Amino acid sequence: MPVDTVRDTGQRRWQNWHQTVDQSLERWLVVSNADPHQSTIPGYNATTRVLQDLMGQARDKDLSIRAHGGTWSFSPIAATEGILLNTQPLNYRFRMGAEQFHPANAGGAALIFAQCGMAIVELNRYLAPLGLALQTCGASNGQTIAGAISTGTHGAALRFGAMQDYVRALHLIVSPEESVWLEPASRPAVRDELAGFVNARLIRDDELFYAALVSFGSFGLIHGVLLEAAPMYYLQSWRETRALDDTLWRAIASLDFSALTLQGAAGRQPDHFQVLINPFDQSRQGIVTAMYRVPSRPPGSTPPKTGSEWTQGDSAFEAVGLITDLLPDASALLASLIDKLTRTTVANVCGEPGQMFRDTTTRGKTAGAAVGVPLDRTRDAIEVARTEIGRTRAPALLAIRLVRSTKATLGFTSFEPATAVIDIDCPQSNRQRDLLHGLWPALEQAGIPFRFHWGKLHEIDRDRLRRMYGDRVDRWLSARRTLLPTPELRRLFANAYTDRAGLSD
Amino acid sequence: MKTQRQLAHGLTIATLALFSFPAGGCLAYRANALGAAPIEEPMRVEGDTALVVREQVTIWSLAYGLVRKGRSRIECDGQGLQEVNLTSPPHYTLLTIITLGAVSPKRLRTKCAKAIPAGGVFAPPPSGAQ
């Protein structure tokens, strides 16, 4: 049954998933495909026209227009005072036949064209019967593809990269009148005429493509994403408690894990590596998870469990935040409790990527922050974070995830050859706010280069952004001016966040 | 002495805060369909033929379940449910206690799953179609 393609929610306030953003706005609209049951190119093109019409309405009223996906970002990066589009129902999916590949891509990997609102869980379910899988994803699977790549969402794929690194082309609506099919010139994906299928102008340009990859809605609306999928693989996982000693820090700095003699390694280097740290733990141990890619499920391995029957209630984080504000010593107790609960051994658990990284159970007022740091400064960054947590007594846990360097101009996982992403997770509270407010200057004072995760809590401004990215900021702005040549268009896709970061010009 | 008093005071406030949460946040139970793509949007507008629906109704159990009132059939256009929430706000709980369970209202919130379209082939649109 055909449905209304644009529905006004009637709401004039918008909150994100974790309730860290509460934004008043002109209109919050839900956009759907006219036929939600069959992916067709004419249907896709009709939705492009709907989106362009909405852009035109925003331009006429001098409003900005932004899109949101899963709304998982903690930062106000998707917010706008103008028109906000919920693109989650836009979930068409298309296979590309080999005859459509660019000659330079002959014999290349499988290419899938996904509409912007397709969630990672949907992609996993679509790809698995085709014998395909995503190269990496975040820790769970509810983000939409456009939102995830636009904010640089990552897993711990130290030999692959972040999610934007398997994008081969973007279909980007840059104005009420025009859309572009954007590919890197150095790695064209499909034949020239395919851009015409979606009424787009073909642009092959490395500088523009890598700038637009992580651009959080500021280059226009990403309507479709061409993804390179991997042949189906399995992840074989082990989790163990280890000392946070010189051997571990050397392994992280060098990406050579042989000296760690990880359980299950059998001479292999991990494809996925992360460390969970309780900063209140005086024994200085961490929970190390290593995963290895294998082409099939090894005999004797165990399939992943669907999860514990015990999970936190939706009000749990708010309660913990309040209690730890009142009783600071409760922070150490709570962090230790969570640490003990997660300190279970995992041995030879193996599943498809979509089975290993699945539905999140986390709801309510949590706070997540993350920075990317160079590998050889991981230990220093953890020590600074540990000191700040000790100062504020915030009930935080730390995690380290290693991600191979991205080519995206403002990708925060862009340190070479890989980035250590330090996650700081805790319930929302005054102590958490005090912690994060103090942590960024403390990292700067320690001389540790770092880059904020775009989708997590941080305090960005023009100067700090320049210190983080140097001339990459100018390259990104230059690319944006090329694709959005008038100040009017650049205003259309800006918001208060990009103003503060100096990324609206 | 002063420190002990402060500690006792802090513990009292923390305990009150802890026990006020089930009331403030409601007694809440939630079930999710595993592997369903999450989607967020406000409540359904009555009569809307929306793709994705979130609906909230009060359901009543009267005379210990002999009579039930409230919508129990949910229209999801054949897409199935994504999430079911059952909550008991403080005044509902109070009513249940006062009537010794004879009148027991709950708040039921349901969310339909997203439509999952069949996959297509990336091919030129038929002539005439744009």
A33 closest CA partner among A18, A42, A44, A19 = A44
* CB-CB neighbors (< 8 A) of B17 in chain A: 319, 322-323, 326
Q: What is the ipTM of this complex?
A: 0.84
- Give the lowest-confidence range in A169-173, A246-250, A337-341, A476-480: A337-341
Query: Which of B12, B21, B29, B122 should be substituted to probe chain A, the one whose Cβ sees the most A Cβ atoms within 10 Å?
Result: B122
* CB-CB neighbors (< 8 A) of B122 in chain A: 41, 94-97, 100, 113, 194, 197
Q: A273 pLDDT band (50/70/90 cuts)?
A: very high
Q: Is the pLDDT of residue A311 over 80?
A: no
Contact (Cβ atoms closer than 8 angstroms) between residue A279 and residue A399: no
Contact criterion met (CB < 8 Å) for B40 and A38: no
Contact criterion met (CB < 8 Å) for A38 and B117: yes
Mean pLDDT value of segment A81-101: 94
A273 closest CA partner among A283, A288, A263, A258 = A288
Which is more confident, A444 or B45? Answer: A444
A52 closest CA partner among A172, A183, A194 = A172
Contact criterion met (CB < 8 Å) for B17 and A10: no
* CB-CB neighbors (< 8 A) of A14 in chain B: none
pLDDT tens digits, one per residue of B39-72? 665 444 333 434 455 667 889 999 998 998 887 6
Kindly state the tokens that stand for A211: 């700038």
Q: Note the pLDDT of residue A154.
A: 92
Contact criterion met (CB < 8 Å) for B114 and A41: no
Q: How open is the CA angle A80-A82-A86, to the nearest 5 degrees?
A: 70
Q: What is the mean pLDDT of chain A?
A: 92
Mean pLDDT is highest, among A347-361, A472-486, B28-42, for: A472-486
Which is more confident, B127 or A146? Answer: A146
Of A3, A7, A315, the CB nearest to B21: A315
d(CA A182, CA A164): 14
Contact criterion met (CB < 8 Å) for A30 and B41: yes
Residue written as tokens 């051994």? A345
**Residue type at A347?**
A
Contact (Cβ atoms closer than 8 angstroms) between residue A73 and residue A455: yes
Alpha helices in A230-272 (DSSP H): 246-254
d(CA A281, CA A343): 12
What one-character-per-residue DSSP string does A116-142 give?
Answer: TT-BHHHHHHHHGGGTEE-S---SSS-
d(CA B113, CA B82): 4
List beta partners, residue A67.
A85
d(CA A189, CA A170): 11
Residue A311's CB is within 10 A of a number of other CB atoms, namely: 12
Q: Is the pLDDT of residue B25 over 60?
A: no
CA B1 to chain centre: 47
Q: Is the pLDDT of residue B108 over 80?
A: yes
d(CA B58, CA B103): 12
* CB-CB neighbors (< 8 A) of B22 in chain A: 315
Contact criterion met (CB < 8 Å) for A122 and B37: yes
Mean pLDDT value of segment A268-276: 95
Residue A246's CB is within 10 A of a number of other CB atoms, namely: 10
**Closest Cα in chain A to B77:** A1
Q: Note the pLDDT of residue B49.
A: 39
Contact (Cβ atoms closer than 8 angstroms) between residue A336 and residue A278: yes
* CB-CB neighbors (< 8 A) of A91 in chain B: 37, 114-117
Of B17, B24, B34, the CB nearest to A323: B17
Residue B119's CB is within 10 A of a number of other CB atoms, namely: 15
Instruction: Report the percentage of chain A scoring pLDDT > 90.
Output: 77
d(CA A72, CA A142): 8
Residue written as tokens 């297509």? B120
pLDDT tens digits, one per residue of A20-54? 999 999 999 999 999 999 999 999 999 999 999 99
Q: A314 pLDDT band (50/70/90 cuts)?
A: confident
Q: Note the pLDDT of residue A493.
A: 98
* CB-CB neighbors (< 8 A) of A359 in chain B: 32, 34-35, 38
Q: Note the pLDDT of residue A309.
A: 62
Q: A317 pLDDT band (50/70/90 cuts)?
A: confident
Tell me how close the Cα of B78 comes to any Cα of chain A, in angstroms. 11
Contact criterion met (CB < 8 Å) for A88 and B39: yes
Contact criterion met (CB < 8 Å) for A38 and B48: no
CA A105 to chain centre: 27
Q: Note the pLDDT of residue A319.
A: 80
Contact criterion met (CB < 8 Å) for A89 and B115: yes
Instruction: Report the percentage of chain A scoring pLDDT > 70.
Output: 97
Radius of gyration of chain B from its Cα atoms, rounded to whole angstroms: 23
Q: Note the pLDDT of residue B22.
A: 44
Number of A to B CB contacts under 8 A, please give it.
151
DSSP class of residue A186? T
Tell me if residue A505 falls in helix, strand or coil.
coil
Tell me how close the Cα of B68 comes to any Cα of chain A, in angstroms. 27
What one-character-per-residue DSSP string does chain B give?
Answer: -HHHHHHHHHHHHHHHHHHHHHHHS-EEEEEE-TTPPP----PPPTT---SS-EEEEEEEEETTTTEEES------TTS-EEEEEEEE-HHHHHHHHHTTTSEEEEEEEEEEPPP-PBPEE--PPPTT--
* Dihedral sign, Cα of residue A265, residue A267, residue A273, residue A278: positive
d(CA B30, CA B54): 14
d(CA A176, CA A174): 7
Q: A329 pLDDT band (50/70/90 cuts)?
A: confident
Kindly state the tokens that stand for A230: 């991997």
Residue written as tokens 């010794």? B100
pLDDT tens digits, one per residue of A45-85? 999 999 999 999 999 999 999 999 988 899 999 999 999 99
Q: Is the pLDDT of residue B76 over 80?
A: no
Tell me how close the Cα of A384 comes to any Cα of chain B, in angstroms. 29
Which is more confident, B37 or A451? Answer: A451
* CB-CB neighbors (< 8 A) of A129 in chain B: none
* b/e map B88-110, b = 16+ CB within 10 Å: bbeebbebbeeeeeeebbbbbbb
Contact criterion met (CB < 8 Å) for B77 and A95: no
